[in-house]
């Protein structure tokens, strides 16, 4: 059976050129980058080179503004907890949105429950968009941080980050964006976006898992996250994961060279998939903004059936996708993102996310368009809430 | 995550559909909690002579509905009433702990269908199963 991977929002395959770049750094160039000798120096140089590439990808001005982390989750935790602890004497109010990734939401909840912070969770409209005016209105005397994601991982909606950044800048409030789903897929420029902090993750753009970075604009007040050695300009202790960092650097280089092409390809596959689904299946709803949307994201609610059973049927046909249904998350509630967008529980339970990556093909989209309508018809025929 | 038995009943569900002129019909769950099961029974000489189901729900919900119908078809009403959620799960070779909610519905739907046949009143919906406390900090997310 030919398999089709359409879960690139969860993670992507590592580009063979990335693997090739990483290879020497396991057992040939294995020195500790903090060591004085030539072995260490080579590791150090490799990190410098990787940092330059990632810095270039996000348009940062200085290489020292980028700190490598263990991934997007750590970058989010570092940004939010680091700013919270640096500025808590000034104020204890944070503004975020209801549709953030759990890496941001649960960090905010932690600060709220255990550290006495107050958090405003801004609502979104039916397309998942945050209104910049709402951000402006939520800013208080004691607001120390605004954290709004650049692109949503579930529904693909792209937020007006530059506008929000301007508002934050005017108000003098530190602004963080979780750009994990954006970096390497759409253009990201920290200066155009007016952000002080930005999280990114390697495995979302054909780099390795377990490595990411936090961009910290020069002058931003933030406390360190990992205490120990003096690595990463004394901001993140632990011996650097050199192969992973090299891999992230290579992925950044490849992403930058091919960004336009990749975007074009993904948009064309995405739109073919969306219109194909809309033509072939009735009673569906596209979730997320139709235009302000990640190039590779398709998210539809298929009414009268449930997400996990759709995923299981697709999986049996070799197609990998994901869902915001409760039964895929281990809780009884479906995706907080879909509920925040005003979907009923019933419609949220029937959501299906197909996320395209740079290796997907037209033939694979056709295969999904051939299999999915059958899966839907099959499940609807057993549904007690579907009446033909 | 699922046993072969669960996968078999998910892929080839037994007794799917509606029963015209059913002697008892029972529905449990609601769309809010993600699973709805509807069971139809026909009874003759105190025996379940025919049974069918329709389910909106996950793989576990569909598989438990299917096996529950198999377990009681041809049995006496009393035997059918004694079917437990545990027995349903065991007949499938076990279910993941996170799936207990979904799997608890099959025997309940059957009981309601029997109650309906016997002319008994029953309370509706999935209060019994609804919203166990879940901790914001511990459920994982892969997307
Ligand atoms: C928007 C967003 N933020 C954060 C993360 C976490 O990234 P990582 O898996 O690198 O920790 C993800 C992906 O899982 C994501 O999609
Ligand atoms: Zn379920």
pLDDT(B137) > 60 = no
Q: Counting ligands in written order, which one lies closest to the CA of residue B101? A: 2
Q: Is-contact A184 A176, C-beta < 8 A?
A: no
Task: Inspect the interface and report whether the beta carbons of B32 and A345 lie closer than 8 Å.
Answer: yes
Q: Is-contact B143 A153, C-beta < 8 A?
A: yes
pLDDT of residue B100: 76
pLDDT(A245) > 90 = yes
- Residue B87 falls within a domain, yes or no? yes
Q: For residue range A252-268, list pLDDT tens digits in order.
A: 999 999 999 999 999 99
Cβ-Cβ contacts under 8 Å, B109 against chain A: none
pLDDT of residue B138: 30
pLDDT(A241) > 80 = yes
User: What is the token pair recorded at A336?
Assistant: 């907080």
Average pLDDT over residues A14-24: 98
Q: Would the ipTM clear 0.95, i.e. be above it?
A: no
Question: Domains in chain B: how many in total?
Answer: 1
Task: Inspect the interface and report whether the beta carbons of B139 and A385 lie closer than 8 Å.
Answer: no
pLDDT(A126) > 80 = yes
Share of chain B above pLDDT 70, in %: 84
In angstroms, the CA A138 to CA A259 distance is: 35
Ligand 2 centre from A332 Cα, in Å? 8
pLDDT of residue B124: 53
Ligand 1 centre from A203 Cα, in Å? 9
Domain boundaries, chain A: 4-12+259-381, 17-254
Task: Inspect the interface and report whether the beta carbons of B141 and A102 lie closer than 8 Å.
Answer: yes
pLDDT of residue A196: 98
| Average pLDDT across chain A, whole number | 96
Task: Find, in chain B, the residue whose alpha carbon is nearest to that of A106.
Answer: B137
Q: Is-contact B109 B39, C-beta < 8 A?
A: yes
Sorting pLDDT into bands at 50, 70 and 90, what band is B123?
low
Q: For residue range A144-190, list pLDDT tens digits in order.
A: 999 999 999 999 999 999 999 999 999 999 999 999 999 999 999 99
Q: For residue range A42-97, list pLDDT tens digits in order.
A: 999 999 999 999 999 999 999 999 999 999 999 999 999 999 999 999 999 999 99
Angle between helices A38-57 and A242-280 (to 10 degrees): 30
**How many A×B Cβ pairs under 8 Å?**
97
What lines the ligand 1 site, CB under 6 Å? Answer: A 71-73, 76, 101, 103, 149, 153, 178, 180-181, 201, 203, 212
Sorting pLDDT into bands at 50, 70 and 90, what band is A12?
very high
- Residue B15 falls within a domain, yes or no? yes
pLDDT(A235) > 60 = yes
pLDDT(B127) > 50 = no
pLDDT of residue B135: 32
- Residue B11 falls within a domain, yes or no? yes
**Torsion region of A60: left, alpha or beta (phi above 0 gives left; psi -120 to 50 gives alpha):** beta
Burial class (CB in 10 A: 0-12, 13-18, 19+), A91: middle
Question: Number of H helices and number of E strands within chain B?
Answer: 6, 3
Length of chain B as a residue count: 143
- Residue B136 falls within a domain, yes or no? no
The answer, as to whether pTM is greater than 0.95, is: no
Cβ-Cβ contacts under 8 Å, A110 against chain B: 137
Give the CATH number of the domain where residue B94 resides: 3.90.1010.10
pLDDT(A276) > 70 = yes
Task: Inspect the interface and report whether the beta carbons of B31 and A385 lie closer than 8 Å.
Answer: yes
Average pLDDT over residues A238-242: 97
- At the top level of CATH, the class of A4-12+259-381 is alpha beta
Residue corresponding to tokens 């040939």: A28
pLDDT(B140) > 50 = no
| Identity of the residue in B55, B58, B98 whose CB atom sits nearest the CB atom of A384 | B55
pLDDT(B132) > 60 = no
Which residue stretches of chain B are H helix?
4-11, 59-72, 77-81, 85-91, 100-103, 105-118
Ligand 1 centre from A65 Cα, in Å? 21
In angstroms, the CA A330 to CA B99 distance is: 8
Selection from B93, B68, B88 nearest residue B3 by Cα? B93
Q: Which residues surround ligand 2, an ion (CB under 5 A)?
A: A 327; B 35, 58, 61, 102
Domain that holds residue B55: 4-119
Sorting pLDDT into bands at 50, 70 and 90, what band is B42?
very high
Active site residue A327: yes
Sorting pLDDT into bands at 50, 70 and 90, what band is A329?
low
Return the residue whose CA atom lies nearest to atom 7 of ligand 1: A72
Average pLDDT over residues B71-80: 97
Ligand 2 centre from B6 Cα, in Å? 13
pLDDT of residue B102: 77
Q: For residue range A348-377, list pLDDT tens digits in order.
A: 999 999 999 999 999 999 999 999 999 999
- At the top level of CATH, the class of A17-254 is alpha beta
| Identity of the residue in B16, B101, B137 whose CB atom sits nearest the CB atom of A332 | B101
DSSP state of B134: -
pLDDT of residue A130: 98
């Amino acid at each position: 059976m030919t398999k089709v991977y359409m879960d690139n929002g969860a993670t992507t395959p590592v580009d063979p050129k990335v693997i090739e770049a990483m290879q020497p750094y396991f057992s040939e160039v294995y020195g500790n980058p903090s060591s004085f000798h030539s072995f260490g120096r080579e590791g150090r140089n490799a990190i410098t080179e990787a940092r330059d590439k990632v810095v270039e990808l996000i348009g940062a001005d200085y290489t020292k503004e980028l700190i490598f982390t263990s991934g997007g989750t750590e970058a989010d935790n570092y940004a939010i907890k680091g700013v919270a602890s640096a500025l808590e004497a000034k104020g204890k109010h944070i503004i975020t949105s209801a549709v953030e990734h759990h890496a941001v939401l649960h960090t905010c909840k932690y600060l709220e429950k255990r550290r006495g912070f107050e958090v405003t969770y801004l609502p979104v409209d039916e397309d998942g968009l945050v209104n910049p005016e709402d951000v402006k209105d939520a800013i208080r005397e004691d607001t120390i941080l605004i954290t709004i994601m650049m692109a949503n991982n579930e529904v693909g909606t792209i937020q007006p980050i530059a506008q929000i950044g301007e508002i934050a800048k005017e108000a003098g409030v530190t602004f963080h964006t979780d750009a994990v789903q954006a970096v390497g897929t759409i253009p990201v420029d920290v200066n155009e976006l007016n952000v002080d902090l930005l999280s990114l993750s390697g495995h979302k753009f054909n780099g390795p898992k377990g490595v990411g970075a936090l961009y910290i604009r020069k002058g931003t007040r933030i406390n360190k996250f990992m205490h120990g050695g003096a690595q990463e300009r004394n901001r993140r202790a632990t011996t650097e994961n050199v192969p992973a960092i090299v891999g992230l650097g290579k992925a950044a280089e490849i992403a930058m060279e091919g960004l336009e092409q990749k975007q074009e390809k993904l948009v064309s596959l995405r739109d073919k998939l969306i219109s194909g689904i809309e033509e072939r299946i009735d009673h569906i709803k596209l979730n997320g903004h139709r235009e302000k949307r990640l190039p590779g994201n398709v998210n539809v609610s298929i009414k009268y059936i449930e997400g996990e059973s759709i995923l299981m049927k697709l999986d049996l046909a070799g197609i990998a996708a994901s869902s915001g249904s409760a039964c895929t998350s281990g809780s009884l509630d479906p995706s907080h993102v879909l509920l925040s967008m005003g979907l009923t529980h019933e419609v949220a339970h029937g959501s299906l996310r197909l996320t395209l990556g740079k290796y997907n093909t037209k033939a694979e989209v056709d295969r999904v368009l051939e299999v999915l309508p059958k899966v839907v018809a099959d499940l609807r025929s057993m549904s007690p809430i579907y009446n033909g | 995550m699922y046993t072969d038995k669960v996968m078999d009943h998910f892929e080839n569900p037994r007794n799917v559909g509606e029963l015209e002129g059913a002697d008892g019909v029972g529905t449990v769950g609601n769309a809010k909690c993600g699973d709805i099961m509807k069971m139809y029974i026909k009874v003759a000489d105190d025996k379940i002579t025919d049974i069918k189901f329709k389910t909106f729900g996950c793989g576990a919900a569909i598989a438990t509905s299917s096996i529950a119908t198999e377990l009681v078809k041809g049995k006496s009403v009393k035997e059918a009433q004694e079917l437990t959620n545990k027995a349903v799960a065991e007949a499938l070779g076990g279910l993941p702990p996170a799936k207990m909610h979904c799997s608890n519905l099959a025997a309940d739907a059957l009981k309601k269908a029997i109650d309906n046949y016997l002319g008994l009143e029953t309370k509706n919906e999935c209060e019994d199963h609804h919203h166990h406390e879940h901790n914001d900090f511990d459920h994982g997310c892969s997307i």
